[in-house]
Structure 1
Amino acid sequence: MRILHVVNHTRRQNGNVHAAVDLACAQSELGHEVTLCSGGGDFEPLLRANRVAVETLPDLLAKGRLLQACRALRALAAARDADIVHAHMMRSAGLAWAATRFSHARLVTTVHNAFEKSAILMGVGDRVVAVSEAVGVGMRRRGIPAGRLRVVLNGTLGNARHRHEPPPKPLTLEYPAVLSVGGLHPRKGVLDLLAGFSQARRARPELHLYLVGGGPCAAEYRAAVAAADAGHVHFCGSHADPRPYMLGADVFVLASHADPAPLVIPEAREAGLAIIATRVDGVPELLEGGAAGVLVAPQAPAEIAAALLAVLADARSLADHRARSQINLRRLSVQRVAAETLAVYDEVLRPRARRARPSPIGRETVRNGQAPT
């Protein structure tokens, strides 16, 4: 099969990019002819090393050059004789839709950031892949027909980004070490985590919290650290590979208010951490419904504090929660993601699917005054 992936860029520290790169490499390993087109970025050498052809189109990122980007992408799809064009971001999806009209290539889109209102634009695909069941439910409610929507749960274990690297060395962190990895912005619930951690420290003053990530609210969050917690909350900045922190920590906490299917959960599980995470979007699916970690309500610092104290009650409790994180871990492999995604491609390439090409969002047939479901 000839597959053309399209992303805005291939820069590090972007979960959508990681998912697309992992998938492209896994599909190439299975013997498919895979190309990844972007505006450029960090992962191009890795892609080439994994026999993924790389095409850089600067117009994909350039403002005011949509027509040029569309023409270039259409020419590339024709030159590659692509069977499937797979878009992973909203700008690239719109360009890919225009580029694949009146061609034999079929368009597949993946909804990564379903919390964004503009994610409805991903519905232009002949098939729309949701990265969790929760995202699938949300997209159906927003008008994506169930007949075009498929769910492929995110997974990243065994990816090419890490497979050929030397094993990371764990950092030496203060025990007990609580870790969170993610952007420093409101959606990640950092203020809830800081408040919950502070409450937990009233009973366990020896706790330390490590925040790995950067973002626009870094200064605000530093200022929000309680005076009593000074020296126990560590802002570690952004790191291309957070695994040394994961291997050195004891408990991983994700306090997000919204998170479709964060790749950091499989990574934290693979590192053997005890997991505490909010019950939002696809997070429960990544934690086996709570069997592989402790689920708490979003925006509930008291629940975070209680969970931390329960997990760290004694050495046996921590060991038990670490062991829980390994339940059904293989399900989160990128090889499973690749196989399920290829099944979506096979489905959309069937002769019947070719004859019934769907219309873009906003032009669906309306029957009896009702939007299609």
Structure 2
Amino acid sequence: MRILHLLNHTRRLNGHVHAAVDLACAQSALGHDVMIASEGGDFDDLLARKGIETSVISHQRKPLAVARSLNAARRLVRSWRADLVHAHMMTSAVLAWPACKLAGIPLVTTVHNEFERSAILMGLGTRVIAVSEAVSQSMQKRGISAARLRVVLNGTIGSARFEGRSRVPQELASPSILFVGGQHPRKGLPDLFEAFAIVHARHPAARLYIVGEGPYLDAYREMVSKMDCADAVTFAGAQEDPFQWMAGADIFVLPSHADPAPLVLSEAREAGCAVIGTTVDGIPQLLEQGEAGILVPAKDPARLADALIDLVAKPAHLQLWRDRSQTNIGHLTIERVARETLDVYASALTKGR
């Protein structure tokens, strides 16, 4: 099969980019011809090594740029002889839809960021992939029929991005609590800071590590600097591969207010952390509905603190949840994601006949 992926760029530190790159590499490994058309970025060398072609299509939203990109997408679909196009962002779907119509081939879209209003544009797809059951239900409420939706839960284990990665744990003071992600309000970091202040007051040896960057990083640093636990919090910034931090951590926390299906949870589980996540969007599904990780309500620092204290104060309980993080972990492989996605393609191609 000739599969053309369309997304805005291939730069690091964006979850949808990681998911698309992982999928393209896995599809190529399964013997398919794969191309990624985008504005390019950090992963282009990896894609080339994996036999994946790349092409440049601008995703600027200015009228003249959009017109040019529409023409570029149409020409690429025809000249590369794609069997289908897989669009990963809203602008990508808009650019791909007329090209697919003219070529008579299916458009498959993936809803990575369901919380954005423009996600409804992913309904342009012949088939629409939701990255969790929660996202599927949300998109149905927004008018996309269940007949066109398919759920393919995110997973990263075995990703080509991780080949040759070091598994030597980062040395962290124990008990260690780790967050990895963007510094955005929807990630709920102020809740974690408030919860950690409660934990640290009772267990002064506890340490909190924050890996990642984003527009609120300076504000969060300032917020923590005024807290009594400030000396126990480390802002490590962005890391090219945070797996070593996960491998060195006792507890991984994701206090999100909204998170369709965060890839970081499969990495934290693979690293063997005890995991705490909030009961929003795809997080419960990625934690086996509480079997593989502790679930707490979002926006509730007191409940989060209780869960953390239980693990910090009870080494046996901490080990129990480390072990439980491995529950059904084989379901989080990129090979499974690739094969399920190919099943969606087959359904789209059959519909188009």
TM-score range, shorter chain: over 0.9
Tell me the secondary structure at the aligned position of residue 205 of structure 1.
Answer: coil
Partner of 1:44: 44
Partner of 1:359: none
Does structure 2 conserve the Cα–Cα contact (< 8 Å) formed by 1:83 and 1:104? no
Does structure 1 conserve the Cα–Cα contact (< 8 Å) formed by 2:84 and 2:108? yes
**Is the counterpart of residue 292 in structure 1 residue 279 in structure 2?**
no
In the TM superposition, what is the alpha-carbon distance from 1:227 to its structure 2 partner?
Answer: 3.0
What letter is aligned with 1:227? M
**Is the counterpart of residue 142 in structure 1 residue 146 in structure 2?**
no
What letter is aligned with 1:281? D
What letter is aligned with 2:27? Q
What letter is aligned with 1:128? V
What letter is aligned with 2:172? L
Alignment of 1:330-341 (within 5 A): 330-341=330-341
In the TM superposition, what is the alpha-carbon distance from 1:217 to its structure 2 partner?
Answer: 1.3
Q: Matches of 1:76 and 1:31 in 2, distance apart?
A: 21
TM-score after normalising by structure 1? 0.92
Q: Matches of 1:18 and 1:152 in 2, distance apart?
A: 15
Partner of 2:186: 187
Q: Matches of 1:170 and 1:290 in 2, distance apart?
A: 26
In the TM superposition, what is the alpha-carbon distance from 1:206 to its structure 2 partner?
Answer: 1.0
In the TM superposition, what is the alpha-carbon distance from 1:341 to its structure 2 partner?
Answer: 0.4
In the TM superposition, what is the alpha-carbon distance from 1:60 to its structure 2 partner?
Answer: 2.8
**Is the counterpart of residue 221 in structure 1 residue 220 in structure 2?**
yes
Partner of 2:352: 354
Q: Matches of 1:216 and 1:162 in 2, distance apart?
A: 27
Partner of 2:152: 152
Q: Matches of 2:261 and 2:36 in 1, distance apart?
A: 22
Tell me the secondary structure at the aligned position of residue 253 of structure 2.
Answer: strand
In the TM superposition, what is the alpha-carbon distance from 1:67 to its structure 2 partner?
Answer: 0.8
Tell me the secondary structure at the aligned position of residue 231 of structure 1.
Answer: helix
Q: Matches of 1:237 and 1:63 in 2, distance apart?
A: 33
In the TM superposition, what is the alpha-carbon distance from 1:158 to its structure 2 partner?
Answer: 0.3
Alignment of 1:227-242 (within 5 A): 227-242=227-242
Question: How many pairs are equivalent?
Answer: 351
Does structure 1 conserve the Cα–Cα contact (< 8 Å) formed by 2:109 and 2:128? yes
In the TM superposition, what is the alpha-carbon distance from 1:166 to its structure 2 partner?
Answer: 4.0
Does structure 2 conserve the Cα–Cα contact (< 8 Å) formed by 1:10 and 1:44? yes
In the TM superposition, what is the alpha-carbon distance from 1:62 to its structure 2 partner?
Answer: 6.6
Q: Matches of 1:328 and 1:266 in 2, distance apart?
A: 11
Does structure 2 conserve the Cα–Cα contact (< 8 Å) formed by 1:278 and 1:295? yes
Q: Matches of 2:177 and 2:25 in 1, distance apart?
A: 33
Partner of 2:100: 100
Tell me the secondary structure at the aligned position of residue 208 of structure 2.
Answer: strand
Offset from partner CA, 1:309-338 (integer Å, 9 cap, x none): 112222211111100000100100000000
Partner of 1:88: 88
Alignment of 1:55-94 (within 5 A): 55-57=55-57, 59-61=58-60, 63-64=62-63, 65-94=65-94
Tell me the secondary structure at the aligned position of residue 41 of structure 2.
Answer: coil
Does structure 2 conserve the Cα–Cα contact (< 8 Å) formed by 1:39 and 1:61? no
Q: Matches of 1:273 and 1:187 in 2, distance apart?
A: 22
Offset from partner CA, 1:335-370 (integer Å, 9 cap, x none): 0000000001001111xx125xxxxxxxxxxxxxxx
Tell me the secondary structure at the aligned position of residue 231 of structure 2.
Answer: coil
Does structure 1 conserve the Cα–Cα contact (< 8 Å) formed by 2:197 and 2:227? no
Partner of 1:174: 173
Tell me the secondary structure at the aligned position of residue 236 of structure 2.
Answer: strand
Q: Matches of 1:230 and 1:146 in 2, distance apart?
A: 48
Q: Which runs of no fewer than 5 residues in structure 2 stay unpaired? A: none
Q: Which runs of no fewer than 5 residues in structure 1 stay unpaired? A: 356-373
Q: Matches of 2:148 and 2:119 in 1, distance apart?
A: 15
Tell me the secondary structure at the aligned position of residue 155 of structure 2.
Answer: coil
Q: Matches of 2:319 and 2:200 in 1, distance apart?
A: 20
Partner of 1:304: 304
Does structure 2 conserve the Cα–Cα contact (< 8 Å) formed by 1:293 and 1:321? yes
What letter is aligned with 2:198? Q
Tell me the secondary structure at the aligned position of residue 261 of structure 1.
Answer: coil
Does structure 2 conserve the Cα–Cα contact (< 8 Å) formed by 1:207 and 1:232? yes
Does structure 1 conserve the Cα–Cα contact (< 8 Å) formed by 2:191 and 2:300? yes
What letter is aligned with 1:140? Q
In the TM superposition, what is the alpha-carbon distance from 1:80 to its structure 2 partner?
Answer: 1.4
Offset from partner CA, 1:59-83 (integer Å, 9 cap, x none): 2347340011111111111111111
Q: Matches of 1:275 and 1:103 in 2, distance apart?
A: 46
Q: Matches of 2:197 and 2:75 in 1, distance apart?
A: 56
Partner of 1:198: 197
Inter-CA distance 235–166: structure 2 relative to 1 (3 Å threshold):
closer
Q: Matches of 2:171 and 2:309 in 1, distance apart?
A: 22
**Is the counterpart of residue 280 in structure 1 residue 280 in structure 2?**
yes
Does structure 1 conserve the Cα–Cα contact (< 8 Å) formed by 2:206 and 2:312? no
Q: Matches of 1:177 and 1:102 in 2, distance apart?
A: 55
Q: Matches of 1:184 and 1:349 in 2, distance apart?
A: 40
